Every structure is written in C-alpha cells, then in structure tokens.
Structure 1
Amino acid sequence: MDQIIKLEDVSWRRDGKEILKDINWEVKPGEHWAILGLNGSGKTSLLNIVTGYNYPTAGRVKVLGTEFGKASLPDMRKKIGFVSNALGRFAQTLNRETAENIVLSGKFASFGIYQDITEAEAQRAANILKELRLEYIADQRYSVLSQGEQRRTLLGRALMSNPELLILDEPCAGLDVLAREDVLAMTEQVAEETRPLLYVTHHIEEITEAISHVLLIRDGQIIAQGPKQDVLTGENLTETYKIPINLHWEGGRPWMSVERMAKESGGRT
C-alpha cells in the first residue's frame, strides 16, 4: 500500500459554512502524525472525513486502500482503531463492564460482549492488558478505574482488532501530569509497532519522539505539514495558535511558551 491516507482538494461544508477547505494531505506507511490546532480549527472534522463518518463536499479521499464512493466504508472502519474522549458518551455501558471485557469488545467494535469468546481472543486480550500494564485491573469495573487507567483500557480496546491505522483523539484530555505521562509512554510503546498512528491534540508537549510528522491546521486550512523538525517552528505555531509563540526542544519533545504581549498604558509598555 503506497498511502495509508490520501486527501486531494478536500473541502467540507455544513449548514452553508466551509469547515474544511482545500485539504491536501498524504500519510505513508511507517509515518506517525500529530495533528495540532486550536479547538474549532477543524481537527475533529478532518478525523470524521478520514474515518468515513463525514463525506467530503468536494475532493477525493482514499484511506487504507478504500476510495470513497467506490468501496464499503463500514468495512474500512473495521481496520481503524479509535480512542477518543468522545467515547465518554458510552459511559453508562462502559461503567458496567470490566477492563478485560472492554478490551475484548474491541474485537467486535461493540461496547459490551454479545458473542462467544474464543480461547485465542481471551489470550490476546490478556496479552494486551499485560503490555499496557493493566493486568492488575483486568477484573475491575471501568467505573472504579482512574482516568489514566480508563484511557489505557480504551487504548487496549482499540488494539484488540489489530487495526491497520490507530487514531488517538486527545487521549490525554483532562488527565493530570502523572496520568498524562503514563498514557504518552503507552502511546510511544504502541508507535514502535508498524501500524501508522494519528495523534490529535492542541498540546504541543504531547508530541513524543515516536511522532515523525506534524500537520498544523487553522480555521479549516492546513498551515504546514511534514517532518516535525521542519514544521514545528515558532513562526508556524504563531500562525496556528494566533498568538506569538516561542519554541524549544527538551528531552526529544517540543515545548512552547507564549511571548509576553506589549500592553499600552499611558504610552509605556
């Protein structure tokens, strides 16, 4: 497969408003991408196009060999592992299930177990829980887990079907520093495997060494894209975040600070 994702001249409109405009983007095998932008910049809309839940108003889309309009999108979605804070809308169901059952449910793209589990599937779930350092909570209900444990459990669910593409949509949202770093460590471990990764965030410090490429988006348009060392500059981030940004690298990760803005007060700053 030459491309994992290919978007050509893609636009998307909703209620007469252009949400995405002239998106051209290509993800190749072996690349791990971070998608950065402010809230409302178009990150979620872009994900909805990639996963086939929104159909582009204009342009061409091809994901995992499936060209939109020429093949089954539900079949394509089965090849994608997805972790998002938005999965919280299934909390009522999740809270009743054990961590083990939630991981197992990823095999069937369901929330809950409604089919017989084979010995091989049970063993795979056990292996995933061990890899994510979650075996100690396998029989505990989701409702009693910490936020970090819950996110790692959902990551395990996404891995259960052995997806060809893994999408993490703001997986650290709402986590404290310790839980965030734990989730990021798990993300790095997963990224060491061959499957491509899309990591969506608006926190630049979450871009770990495993991320190879970055896409910056603002107001539905791409500001910059490519290898992270080329894209992550103060100038590009200033344009993306609409505020003066300074950038530095530490421990293989980028960190940013906001430049102090001059204040007008009686002619002095």
Structure 2
Amino acid sequence: MGHVIDVQGVTYRNGKNELLNNISWQVRPNEHWALLGLNGSGKTTLLNLINGYMWPTQGQISVLGHRFGEVDLRELRQSIGWVSQSLQDKLYASDKAQNIVISGKFASIGLYEQITDEDQAKAEAFMKTLGCAHLWDREFRTCSQGEKQKVLICRALMAEPRILILDEPCNGLDLFSREKLLDSIEALSQRQDAPTLIYVTHHTEEILPVFSHTLLLRRGEAVRSGETAQVMTEDTLSGFFEAPVVVEQHEGRVYVRAGAKA
C-alpha cells in the first residue's frame, strides 16, 4: 500500500456551489496529519468524501490502497473511525461509559450483543490510555464534555480502525479540559497499534508535535500541505488567514495572534 489516503484533483460541487476545488492530498504510512481550516473551508465535505458518503464531481480518491469505484465502501468504512460531537446526541445518555465504548465493536447505538471478557479488557485498556478508566460504571450523561469525547474515541478504537479521524474534538472544552484531552490523544499516538490519526481543527495551538504533517484548507482549496514545521510559519499562516499574524511556539505547538511584529 503506497498511501493511506490519496486524493487526486478532487472537486465537489453541490448545484452551483463549489465546495472543494481541485484538492490533492496524500497521507503516507506512519504519518499523523492535522487538517486546519476555518468554518466553511470544506473540512466536513472532504471528510465525507474520504468516507465515501459523498462522491467527487471530479478527481479520484483511494483509501488504504482501495480506489473508490472499485471497492465496497461499506466494508472500507469499517477501517475508518470518525469521532464527531454529533454522535453524542445519538447515544443513550443512561448507558454506562464502558458499554458505549464496547458498542463501538458492533457499530451499534446501545449494546445488544454478548460481552466477552476480551471485550471488557480491551475497553479497559483503551480507557486507561485515554485517561478515562475512572468513568467505568458511570452513566454517559454524568460525564463532562471532555470525558464524553474520550469515551467516543475509545468507542471508535474498539473497531480497530486503521484511520481515526478526530473531528474538532476540543470544541466546547475549557482550557484545562482541552489540555487533558490533547494529552490523551498524544498518549494514543504513542501506542504501537495506533491508527493513522487525522486531527481536524481551526485552532493552530491544538496541533500537537505528533502531527508531523498539516493540510491548510481555505474556501475549498488546499492552500498548503506538508511537514508541519514548514507549513506553520508566520508568512504561510499570514497568507492563509489573509491577515498579518504573529506566530509563537511553545513546546512544539504554534500559537497565533493577530497583528504584525513591531
């Protein structure tokens, strides 16, 4: 397999609206990527295309070595985990946290299958990695927003995906909850069995050093992609945001503020 994700010249139009324009993007094995874009940049459209929920107007997509049009997308999706806050509303609030995690193995809302000792051990291991083992036997509705996101990530991992998309997981979190979640994501990336991570955000400071590569998406176009250190520069980000910004780095993360240097 040459690429984990291979998007070649993809354009997507919805009626007269062009949501993506000539996007080319390649994710190679052993790379973790950040996808940075403001609201309306086309991030969700691109994710839907990669998952095969939408079809490109032009261009070609291959995921895990399988070219779209030549593969059963229902089977392919079983290798892709997509963690989004929209899933929270579909889950049963009274379910225990570990049951929500285990239900990811069966891609079900609610748990109706027989649970094995192996299922429980696997769920416990993921919850320890994500720092939420203390939620065992807690009802989902009693968890904080950050805790719920950790449970959802563990749920996605139960299906042993080869790609894990984290779709703006820190939205709605306070500073401390955000940092706890980011610490958990970093711990996940260190596992030998970690899937390829795609972290979607519109905040530069959420891009951890583990995300070796970054794609900048603006108004449906790929402004720049490549190694994060080369992409997250003051000149590049000023052009990307279409306004002068000052870039400050701290522990391998990039913090941006408006305005030019004196």
TM over 0.5: yes
For 1:205-239, what per-residue CA distance to the aligned partner results, in whole angstroms no more than 9, with x for missing partners?
00111110000011100000000011111222122
Partner of 2:250: 250
Partner of 2:120: 122
Decide whether the 8 Å contact of 1:66 with 1:73 is kept in 2: no
Partner of 2:13: 13
Partner of 1:48: 48
Aligned amino acid, residue 190 of structure 2: E
Decide whether the 8 Å contact of 1:223 with 1:236 is kept in 2: no
Partner of 2:189: 191
Give the gaps of 5 or more residues in structure 1.
Answer: 261-269
Partner of 1:160: 158
Distance in 2 (CA, whole Å) between partners of 1:242 and 1:89 is: 35
Distance in 1 (CA, whole Å) between partners of 2:31 and 2:253 is: 17
Decide whether the 8 Å contact of 2:146 with 2:177 is kept in 1: yes
Aligned amino acid, residue 15 of structure 1: G
For 1:176-195, what per-residue CA distance to the aligned partner results, in whole angstroms no more than 9, with x for missing partners?
01110011001111112342
Distance in 1 (CA, whole Å) between partners of 2:223 and 2:198 is: 17
Within 5 Å, give how 1:43-192 maps onto structure 2: 43-90=43-90, 93-192=91-190
Partner of 2:241: 241
What RMSD in Å do the two structures reach over aligned CA positions? Answer: 1.4
Task: Give the Å deviation of 1:10.
Answer: 0.5
Aligned amino acid, residue 141 of structure 1: E
Moved more, 236-245 or 53-62: 236-245
Decide whether the 8 Å contact of 1:152 with 1:183 is kept in 2: yes
Partner of 2:227: 227
Decide whether the 8 Å contact of 2:130 with 2:188 is kept in 1: no
Bigger radius of gyration among the two: 1
SS in 2 for 1:115: coil
Moved more, 78-87 or 235-244: 235-244
Decide whether the 8 Å contact of 1:10 with 1:57 is kept in 2: yes
Partner of 2:31: 31
Q: Which 4+ runs in 1 deviate beyond 4 A?
A: none
Aligned amino acid, residue 48 of structure 1: N
Distance in 2 (CA, whole Å) between partners of 1:15 and 1:78 is: 30
Report the TM-score when normalising by structure 2: 0.95
Task: Give the Å deviation of 1:133.
Answer: 2.3
Task: Give the Å deviation of 1:94.
Answer: 3.1
Partner of 1:267: none
Decide whether the 8 Å contact of 2:129 with 2:188 is kept in 1: no
SS in 1 for 2:126: helix
Q: May I ask how many residue pairs the two structures share in their alignment? A: 259
- The percentage of aligned residue pairs carrying the same residue is 41
Give the gaps of 5 or more residues in structure 2.
Answer: none
Distance in 2 (CA, whole Å) between partners of 1:188 and 1:209 is: 9
Aligned amino acid, residue 207 of structure 2: I
Report the TM-score when normalising by structure 1: 0.93
Distance in 1 (CA, whole Å) between partners of 2:176 and 2:92 is: 23
Distance in 1 (CA, whole Å) between partners of 2:66 and 2:78 is: 12
